[in-house]
């Protein structure tokens, strides 16, 4: 007589964990509101930029000048939306510790890693969707508003698709980075300070200090944004990072943050 194993296969278990995290994330109204805000930041900024670019045609200050626009301009607002996405990820993680939900979540799984991995997958997916839909909306509005005017703007549909996907990849990586830092620190104020300091303060601070300006190019924001924005290196005398190399640096930040959180999650009490 053989005994039937009662162990649940790893893959269905992880899928269940992802589904549970998705339900928990979308159940709270604050998370839905922040997601909508991030989308509106990207799409609204693109619409305003399109209108302001068209308005230059009748502005005396630009008389005689050729008014041009590039598709990359209409996804720059992704860099502002990253703050909302990062805050959303921090609140989604630290909120479980504040409410005690983290203990129940960990008890429902045979190990701690699936919980953290599932939360990272769900938040990365949400960040990706916000980036793709926001950039697509922004670029779509620019294609509706600017063509037919005297603004020189000739976007290619393929280029728009690539920029939308890149925007999603960028925000997805930012969400994972914020998830890792929040899970490592557990406290909402500390996690928000660390995440926003790393994304906003550190690049500006490093770029203003002579001798170490090049280090700013390797911060998450300055490195990752090369995937969606064409701007010069902080140190003009050296070659700037290639787009995918820069994104690789951002991805490395995210992976290190998540691995650190995983180690601490196993070392500490829930």
pLDDT, tens only, 31-53: 999 999 999 999 999 999 999 99
> What pLDDT shows up at residue 21?
87
Q: Are 162 and 72 in contact (CB under 8 A)?
A: no
Higher pLDDT pick, 108 / 259: 259
HSE, side-chain direction, 13 A CA sphere, residue 27? 8
- 94's enclosing H/E stretch is helix 78-99
- Mean pLDDT value across residues 121-128: 97
Higher pLDDT pick, 135 / 115: 135
Q: Is the pLDDT of residue 4 over 70?
A: no
| Phi-psi category of residue 64: left, alpha or beta, with phi > 0 → left and psi -120 to 50 → alpha | left
Higher pLDDT pick, 240 / 124: 124
List pLDDT tens digits, range 80-91: 999 999 999 999
HSE, side-chain direction, 13 A CA sphere, residue 151? 26
> What pLDDT shows up at residue 136?
96
Token couple for 262 = 């995983």
> What pLDDT shows up at residue 1?
46
The separation between CA 18 and the C-alpha centre of its own chain, rounded to angstroms, equals: 19
- 97's enclosing H/E stretch is helix 78-99
Burial of 152 (0-12, 13-18, 19+ CB in 10 A): exposed
Q: Is the pLDDT of residue 189 over 70?
A: yes
Choose the weakest-confidence range: 73-77, 84-88, 90-94, 113-117: 113-117
Q: Is the pLDDT of residue 235 over 80?
A: no
Token couple for 229 = 């924005």
Average pLDDT, the chain: 88
162 falls in which pLDDT band (50, 70, 90)? very high
Choose the weakest-confidence range: 10-24, 102-116, 176-190, 206-220: 102-116
Burial of 230 (0-12, 13-18, 19+ CB in 10 A): exposed
Report the C-alpha gap between 121 and 230 in whole angstroms.
29
Cite the beta strand spans of the chain per DSSP E. none
């Amino acid at each position: 007589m053989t005994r039937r194993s009662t162990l649940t296969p790893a893959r269905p278990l992880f899928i269940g964990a992802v589904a549970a995290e998705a339900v928990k994330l979308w159940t709270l109204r604050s998370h839905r509101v922040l997601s909508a805000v991030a989308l509106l930041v990207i799409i609204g900024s693109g619409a305003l930029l399109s209108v302001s670019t068209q308005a230059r045609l009748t502005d005396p200050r630009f008389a005689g000048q050729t008014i041009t626009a590039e598709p990359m301009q209409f996804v720059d607002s992704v860099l502002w939306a990253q703050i909302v996405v990062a805050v959303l990820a921090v609140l989604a993680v630290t909120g479980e510790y504040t409410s005690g939900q983290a203990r129940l979540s960990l008890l429902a799984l045979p190990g701690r890693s699936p919980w953290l991995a599932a939360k990272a997958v769900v938040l990365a997916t949400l960040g990706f969707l916000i980036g793709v839909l926001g950039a697509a909306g922004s670029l779509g509005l620019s294609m509706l508003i600017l063509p037919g005017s005297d603004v020189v703007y000739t976007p290619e549909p393929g280029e728009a698709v690539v920029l939308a996907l890149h925007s999603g990849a960028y925000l997805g990586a930012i969400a994972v980075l914020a998830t890792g830092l929040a899970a490592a620190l557990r406290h909402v104020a500390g996690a928000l300070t660390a995440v926003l300091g790393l994304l906003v303060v550190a690049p500006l601070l490093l770029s203003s200090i002579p001798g170490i300006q090049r280090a700013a190019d390797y911060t998450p924001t300055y490195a990752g944004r090369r995937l969606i924005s064409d701007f010069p290196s902080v140190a003009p005398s050296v070659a700037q990072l290639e787009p995918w190399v820069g994104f690789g640096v951002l991805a490395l930040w995210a992976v290190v943050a998540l691995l650190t959180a995983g180690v601490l999650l196993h070392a500490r009490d829930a």
